[in-house]
Structure 1
């Protein structure tokens, strides 16, 4: 019987644990890291609730310790993608018909499991698989993922509560249906929380999902899939497959039941997907929803009134936490000439204090970049800067991949505001700074706005309120998440809904109601309580 209204109140954000020496969470995490390293995992795909192994395996190694094998995963073919679609469609009707409070309970239980029983596991898997230090793992794979699950339950409840007005004799209502078909979730390596949110936000709305994580995030993705299953997620609602991106596209984007894609990754891949979907539009039963977040060239604009130490801290954290592998990472900074030398000097000194090494050593602030391909790409940018007369390495610049993919936090100073590292997304621990004439602040704001095709995050650092107001207004389209006197990273679910426009994506704001609307299809129902029995209206009567 379903005869009650259920309410899921707004949650608070999950508290971030400190992992200070002597703390119980530190001891638990150290123990779990050792446990994961002591075993080699055989990781299957999950299709229709069943474990699927192909025998075609890919090794998983920590980016910071490439000689150590954590395990391997089984790579899928086109037949497995088709099987995942079929399993999703077979589960669709029963999942869509499941009352909301029953669907919500699955994701609330998953959040609780992560917050308690599996907190050390989710952090350890992210630390080893993606080379994040304990704090970066905690704010990502524990707190943010937990927040996505809990806040999305609350937000969806608020959406379901929204109903139209009814006139006398009429009852109107809105029904929020899932999309007609399956949703493809394609998730990146850099945030376990994104890996968990993209498939679950769609599934929460009653959709069924085919989930393809980045190969370099499979270690945590497979763990989270098992958490969802333990939380009671029915078979086939989310199907986890490991297959090449183009192969996934060939199967999913030609299927008549393809209903949407939830994507985080590169701009080029997303644009190719959009073009392919558009070319196949006549094949689909319904117009697919296309939701994507695709990266950034995120800026820090410094005004002459700024406090130098505030700037240095914002740049040190914003550019180099998680080795700069955040879509929101500060990668270009504009320094006024009245304080540029001081900032560069203090920043260089700060970077020398940052230890680099494995994630298991909690004293390391910097760890490894994700893989050899990324390492080689970043190293090439650094090498080119060393040879270019328009650039100067003012900090870092060294790298080594003999034991792991380690690149020093690197600061490039350029005399050219259109230098390549001021414009192109590098996705690594490289920050480029440009010194501008402090008297040309407004002109430089215009330069910031037009330099990059991206518009994800950015910040203004100033003590002059008029300068802050001017930057906020002039850079209105330059960033979907804009920060004042802070680094441009660290968006929190429920506080700073995340997403950008221009080449950075569709700005559908993960961690808000805006994103969930994309996975719903509303139906308006009008019921006339006492229907008319004569077609004639009063105006037709004679006086």
Structure 2
């Protein structure tokens, strides 16, 4: 037994690399992009630490090059989902009784792997799989996820420390034990942030929970590589089970299971509402009350004051509206600008929009690339068509497709 009070390293934000011409990080990323572009990988389910190739295969293509296949993904069957649930339940006692600092150490190791040998690999997969530019991949799949793993390890310590009773009566010593949920966690993750995809299953795991991870159908490649990274960092078998599969089948199977203990979700409002309804309808089935945590789509906006920094406003409009094709919860989908300010910045704004370059993210001069899939493209076209048909709308930039 070690007589100490463990304290993980004080977390700091990971510096964002610049990928300037001639820099070593740019050369490494370019090399990795070429390597990944030249291969088609097989992506299995990962159940109890083992790769499961089901034979029911779908192809994953680059959103910016629909003819370029980058992966063949083996989709889970209902039996595979049930096996994954059982694997997480079997791993629960081992993982939940492991000292918290040992669990945290695995994810701190993962953060070190990501800031080193895995950085180019994960960034390249995010660029090819989700059509992010170099900078957008760097701030997401590298820096933000490194920060998640560093800060979550410290938050874990804070939770265990801060929940201790501040006072014990005479001749007594009160203490609190923070226990993981009894059952398994279902993590359902989005395509738009590789960091969030890995954070949802791993943040619950740091606290001693085990579970099933269903990645988005549009980010199988980057998410699979992140699963492999966590395994390389020492994640034991069964703690997180990686299950690509048809959303309706996976969801129905998981939500009907009596040992469902929680849901960790980021995605669309409609899907989250359905999951919540299904949980409510199944309450008589569950051993406990599942904790439901979700983040859904929002409409971000910009409000400009009459004496604002007008150059900063133009930059905010450009970056907020067009970075990663506007596929972020923080994307600026509307702006409230005084008429006097708009009159002064309109020409500059329109001129800057005209300079935006769109294309393959492997060309580092491009500011934008493709939206994630045809459904997203059709939604955007619908907004454009409605704006054109509305006599109250003035289209100042764009308007074509």
Q: TM-score, normalised by structure 2?
A: 0.98
- Written as runs of structure 1 = structure 2, the 5 A alignment for 1:527-538 is none
Task: Report the equivalent of 1:218.
Answer: 220
Structure 1 residue 23 displacement after superposition: 0.4
* C-alpha distance after superposition, 1:91-132 (max 9, x if no partner): 110111111121111101111000001110010000000000
CA distance in 2, matches of 1:351, 1:200: 39
Structure 1 residue 2 displacement after superposition: 4.2
- Written as runs of structure 1 = structure 2, the 5 A alignment for 1:45-444 is 45-162=45-162, 163-164=164-165, 165-399=167-401
**Secondary structure in structure 1 of the residue aligned to 2:334:** strand
CA distance in 2, matches of 1:342, 1:45: 55
More strand by share: 1
Structure 1 residue 341 displacement after superposition: 2.5
Structure 1 residue 387 displacement after superposition: 2.0
Instruction: State the 4+ residue runs in structure 1 displaced beyond 3 angstroms.
Output: none
Structure 1 residue 398 displacement after superposition: 2.6
Structure 1 residue 289 displacement after superposition: 0.8
CA distance in 2, matches of 1:347, 1:52: 51
User: Please, which moves more after superposition, 6-15 or 19-28?
Assistant: 6-15
Task: Report the equivalent of 1:15.
Answer: 15
Unaligned segments of structure 1, at least 5 residues: 400-543
CA distance in 1, matches of 2:213, 2:151: 21
* C-alpha distance after superposition, 1:190-235 (max 9, x if no partner): 0000001000000110000100010101110100000011111000
Structure 1 residue 158 displacement after superposition: 1.2
CA distance in 2, matches of 1:132, 1:299: 22
Cα contact 1:270–1:292 (8 A) shared by 2: yes
User: Please, which moves more after superposition, 305-314 or 203-212?
Assistant: 305-314
Cα contact 1:295–1:328 (8 A) shared by 2: no
Cα contact 1:304–1:336 (8 A) shared by 2: yes
Structure 1 residue 142 displacement after superposition: 0.2
**Secondary structure in structure 2 of the residue aligned to 1:262:** strand
User: Please, which moves more after superposition, 293-302 or 2-11?
Assistant: 2-11
Unaligned segments of structure 2, at least 5 residues: none
Superposition CA RMSD, Å: 1.0
* Structure with max Cα Rg: 1
* C-alpha distance after superposition, 1:421-447 (max 9, x if no partner): xxxxxxxxxxxxxxxxxxxxxxxxxxx
Structure 1 residue 287 displacement after superposition: 1.1
Structure 1 residue 317 displacement after superposition: 0.5
**Secondary structure in structure 2 of the residue aligned to 1:332:** strand
**Secondary structure in structure 2 of the residue aligned to 1:88:** helix
How many equivalent pairs are there? 399
**Secondary structure in structure 1 of the residue aligned to 2:174:** strand
Structure 1 residue 159 displacement after superposition: 1.1
Task: Report the equivalent of 1:412.
Answer: none
